[in-house]
Structure 1
Amino acid sequence: MKPPYPLDVSEATRSFDPRSGSLIERALFNHRIVVLLACALVTVLLGWQATRLQLNASYEKTIPTSHPFIVNWLTHQQDLRGLGNALRIAVVPTAQGARGAPGAAAGRPDAIYDARYLETLRRLNDEVFLLPGVDRAAMKSLWTPNMRWTGVTEEGLEGGPVIPDGYDGSAASLQALRTNIQRSGEIGQIVAHDGGSSVIVVPLLARDAQGQAIDVVALSDRLDALRLKYEGQGVQLHVTGFAKLVGDLIAGLRQVLVFFAVAIVIAAVMVWGYTRCMRSTLLVVVSSLIAVVWQLGLLPVMGHALDPYSMLVPFLVFAIGMSHGAQKMNGIMQDIGRGVPQWVAARYTFRRLFLAGLTALLADAVGFAVLLAIDIPVIQELAIAASIGVGALIFTNLIVLPILLSYTGVSAQAAARSLRAEQRFAGEGAHEVGGLWLALERCTQRRWAVPVVAVSALLAVGGWAVSRHLAIGDLDPGAPELRADARYNQDVAYINAHYGASSDVFAVMVTTPDGGCAAYDTLMRVDALEWQLRQLPGVESTQSLAGLNRLVLTGLNEGHPRWFDLIPNQAMLNLVTGSAPRGLYNDTCNLLVVSAFLKDHKAATLSGVVEAVQAFAAANDSPAARFELAAGSAGIEAATNIVVREAWHRMLGLVYAAVVVLAFVTFRSWRAVVVAVLPLMLTSVLAEALMVALGMGVKVATLPVIALGVGIGVDYALYILSVMLGELRKGATLARSYRTALHFTGRVVVLTGLTLAMGVATWVASPIKFQADMGLLLAFMFLWNMLGALLLLPALAHWLLAPLQRAAPAALDPSDDALPSSAHRPVNLDGAAPRAAASH
Structure 2
Amino acid sequence: MIETGWIARFSTFCIRRRAAVVIVLGLATAILTYFAALVEVKTVFADMLPSSHPYVKVHEKFADTFGGSNMVTIMVEADKGDIFDPAILEKVQTLTLELRKVSAVNPFQIISLASKKAKEVRASTDNIETRPLMWPDVPKTEAELQELKAAVVRNPLVYGSYVSTDLKAALITVDFIDRLVDYGVVFKEINEMVAKVKDDRVHIHVVGDPILYGWVNHHLPETFHLVLATAALIAALLFFFTRTWRNTVLPMLAGLISAIWALGVIKLAGIHFEPLVIVVAVLISARAVSHSVQIVNRFDEEVDAIESGHEKCEDAARLALLDMFRPGMLGIIADAGCMAVVALSPIPLLQKLTLLSVVWVFTLSVSAVILTPVLLSWGRHPKGFAHPVNSAPVLHKFLGFCAWVATSRARYVVLSMAALVFGISAFYAFNLKIGDANPGSPILWSDAPYNKDSAAINQRFKGVDRMFVVVGDESAGFVKRTEVLENISKFQRFMTAQPEIGGSLSIADVVPTVNRIMHEGNPRYYELGGNETVNGSLMYLFESVSEPGDLDRLVDTSYQNASVTLLFRDRQGETIRTAVARVKEFIERNPLSQGAYYLAGGAVGVMAAVNEIILSGQIEAIALALFVLVIICSIVYRSTIAGMVFMVPVILSNTITFSMMAYMDIGMNINTVPVAALGIGLGVDYAFYIADRIKEELALGKDAVTATTIALHSTGFGVVITALVLILAVMLWWVSSLRFQAEMALLMGIWLAVSASSALLLMPSMLFVFRPAFVFGQK
Class of the TM-score when normalised by the shorter of the 2 chains: over 0.9
In 2: Cα distance, 1:59 partner to 1:476 partner: 22
**CA deviation vs aligned residue, 1:376-425 (integer Å, no higher than 9, x gap):** 222222111111111211111111111111112441236999xx99xx9x
Query: Within the alignment, does 1:220 sit opposite 2:192 as a pair?
Result: no
Provide the residue aligned with 2:179 in structure 1. Answer: 207
In 1: Cα distance, 2:3 partner to 2:637 partner: 29
Of 231, 242, 261 in structure 2, the residue corresponding to residue 294 of structure 1 is 261
In 2: Cα distance, 1:296 partner to 1:374 partner: 23
Provide the residue aligned with 2:162 in structure 1. Answer: 190
**CA deviation vs aligned residue, 1:733-763 (integer Å, no higher than 9, x gap):** 3222211221331111111111111111122
Unaligned 5+ segments in structure 2 are 544-550
Residue 350 of structure 2 contacts residue 674 of structure 2 at CA under 8 Å; is this kept in 1? yes
Q: For residue 145 of structure 1, what is the amino acid of its counterpart?
A: K
Query: Within the alignment, does 1:509 sit opposite 2:481 as a pair?
Result: no
Q: Using structure 1 for the length normalisation, give the TM-score.
A: 0.86
Of 177, 185, 209 in structure 2, the residue corresponding to residue 242 of structure 1 is 209
In 2: Cα distance, 1:167 partner to 1:389 partner: 58
- Post-superposition offset of 1:593: 0.7
**CA deviation vs aligned residue, 1:186-222 (integer Å, no higher than 9, x gap):** 12222222222322212111234xxxxx331122122
Q: For residue 81 of structure 2, what is the amino acid of its counterpart?
A: R
In 2: Cα distance, 1:347 partner to 1:198 partner: 73
Provide the residue aligned with 2:702 in structure 1. Answer: 732
The verdict on how the C-alpha distance between 1:409 and 1:201 changes in structure 2, with shifts beyond 3 A counting, is farther
The verdict on how the C-alpha distance between 1:450 and 1:682 changes in structure 2, with shifts beyond 3 A counting, is same
**CA deviation vs aligned residue, 1:763-790 (integer Å, no higher than 9, x gap):** 2222221122112111111000100111
The verdict on how the C-alpha distance between 1:728 and 1:21 changes in structure 2, with shifts beyond 3 A counting, is closer
Of 240, 243, 254 in structure 2, the residue corresponding to residue 276 of structure 1 is 243
Provide the residue aligned with 2:22 in structure 1. Answer: 36
Q: For residue 243 of structure 2, what is the amino acid of its counterpart?
A: R
- Post-superposition offset of 1:458: 1.0
Range moving further from structure 2, 554-563 or 759-768: 554-563
The verdict on how the C-alpha distance between 1:192 and 1:55 changes in structure 2, with shifts beyond 3 A counting, is farther
Provide the residue aligned with 1:457 in structure 2. Answer: 419
**CA deviation vs aligned residue, 1:591-614 (integer Å, no higher than 9, x gap):** 111112122112222111111101
Provide the residue aligned with 1:89 in structure 2. Answer: 74
Of 319, 322, 333 in structure 1, the residue corresponding to residue 286 of structure 2 is 319
Residue 183 of structure 2 contacts residue 210 of structure 2 at CA under 8 Å; is this kept in 1? yes
The verdict on how the C-alpha distance between 1:250 and 1:158 changes in structure 2, with shifts beyond 3 A counting, is same
The verdict on how the C-alpha distance between 1:803 and 1:22 changes in structure 2, with shifts beyond 3 A counting, is closer
**CA deviation vs aligned residue, 1:478-505 (integer Å, no higher than 9, x gap):** 11211111111111111111112x2211
Unaligned 5+ segments in structure 1 are 6-15, 94-105, 209-213, 425-430, 811-840
Residue 217 of structure 2 contacts residue 275 of structure 2 at CA under 8 Å; is this kept in 1? yes
Residue 336 of structure 1 contacts residue 415 of structure 1 at CA under 8 Å; is this kept in 2? no
Provide the residue aligned with 2:547 in structure 1. Answer: none
Provide the residue aligned with 2:81 in structure 1. Answer: 108
Q: For residue 201 of structure 1, what is the amino acid of its counterpart?
A: T
Query: Within the alignment, does 1:401 sit opposite 2:401 as a pair?
Result: no
Provide the residue aligned with 2:589 in structure 1. Answer: 619
Residue 540 of structure 1 contacts residue 599 of structure 1 at CA under 8 Å; is this kept in 2? yes
Residue 482 of structure 2 contacts residue 532 of structure 2 at CA under 8 Å; is this kept in 1? yes
Residue 508 of structure 1 contacts residue 595 of structure 1 at CA under 8 Å; is this kept in 2? yes
In 2: Cα distance, 1:643 partner to 1:140 partner: 33
Of 575, 598, 616 in structure 2, the residue corresponding to residue 646 of structure 1 is 616
Range moving further from structure 2, 746-755 or 113-122: 113-122
Percent identity at matched positions? 25
Query: Within the alignment, does 1:519 sit opposite 2:519 as a pair?
Result: no
1:314-393 alignment, distance < 5 Å: 314-339=281-306, 341-393=312-364
Provide the residue aligned with 1:593 in structure 2. Answer: 563
The verdict on how the C-alpha distance between 1:680 and 1:32 changes in structure 2, with shifts beyond 3 A counting, is same
Q: Give the secondary structure class of the aligned counterpart of 1:177.
A: helix
Range moving further from structure 2, 23-32 or 134-143: 23-32
In 2: Cα distance, 1:79 partner to 1:654 partner: 41
Of 657, 661, 665 in structure 1, the residue corresponding to residue 635 of structure 2 is 665
Provide the residue aligned with 2:495 in structure 1. Answer: 533
The verdict on how the C-alpha distance between 1:157 and 1:163 changes in structure 2, with shifts beyond 3 A counting, is same
1:774-813 alignment, distance < 5 Å: 774-801=744-771, 810=779
Provide the residue aligned with 1:833 in structure 2. Answer: none
Of 111, 117, 134 in structure 2, the residue corresponding to residue 140 of structure 1 is 111
Query: Within the alignment, does 1:73 sit opposite 2:54 as a pair?
Result: no
Provide the residue aligned with 1:571 in structure 2. Answer: 533
Q: For residue 77 of structure 2, what is the amino acid of its counterpart?
A: V
Provide the residue aligned with 1:835 in structure 2. Answer: none
Residue 642 of structure 2 contacts residue 774 of structure 2 at CA under 8 Å; is this kept in 1? no
In 2: Cα distance, 1:379 partner to 1:806 partner: 41
Residue 468 of structure 2 contacts residue 566 of structure 2 at CA under 8 Å; is this kept in 1? yes
Provide the residue aligned with 2:273 in structure 1. Answer: 306
Query: Within the alignment, does 1:255 sit opposite 2:222 as a pair?
Result: yes
Query: Within the alignment, does 1:266 sit opposite 2:233 as a pair?
Result: yes
- Post-superposition offset of 1:77: 2.8
In 1: Cα distance, 2:263 partner to 2:486 partner: 56
Provide the residue aligned with 1:717 in structure 2. Answer: 687
The verdict on how the C-alpha distance between 1:301 and 1:590 changes in structure 2, with shifts beyond 3 A counting, is same
Residue 400 of structure 2 contacts residue 713 of structure 2 at CA under 8 Å; is this kept in 1? no
Q: Using structure 2 for the length normalisation, give the TM-score.
A: 0.92
Q: For residue 40 of structure 1, what is the amino acid of its counterpart?
A: G
Q: For residue 707 of structure 1, what is the amino acid of its counterpart?
A: A
Q: Give the secondary structure class of the aligned counterpart of 1:413.
A: coil
Residue 671 of structure 1 contacts residue 801 of structure 1 at CA under 8 Å; is this kept in 2? no
Q: Give the secondary structure class of the aligned counterpart of 1:478.
A: coil
Q: For residue 301 of structure 1, what is the amino acid of its counterpart?
A: L
Residue 649 of structure 2 contacts residue 683 of structure 2 at CA under 8 Å; is this kept in 1? no
- Post-superposition offset of 1:648: 1.5
Range moving further from structure 2, 469-478 or 16-25: 16-25
Provide the residue aligned with 1:546 in structure 2. Answer: 508
Q: For residue 63 of structure 2, what is the amino acid of its counterpart?
A: Q
The verdict on how the C-alpha distance between 1:167 and 1:600 changes in structure 2, with shifts beyond 3 A counting, is closer
Provide the residue aligned with 2:50 in structure 1. Answer: 64
In 2: Cα distance, 1:336 partner to 1:283 partner: 17
In 2: Cα distance, 1:632 partner to 1:19 partner: 59
Range moving further from structure 2, 673-682 or 229-238: 229-238
Of 746, 755, 759 in structure 1, the residue corresponding to residue 729 of structure 2 is 759
The verdict on how the C-alpha distance between 1:664 and 1:166 changes in structure 2, with shifts beyond 3 A counting, is closer
Provide the residue aligned with 2:133 in structure 1. Answer: 162
- Post-superposition offset of 1:47: 1.9
- Post-superposition offset of 1:806: 6.4
Q: For residue 290 of structure 2, what is the amino acid of its counterpart?
A: S
Residue 630 of structure 2 contacts residue 642 of structure 2 at CA under 8 Å; is this kept in 1? no
In 1: Cα distance, 2:227 partner to 2:111 partner: 42
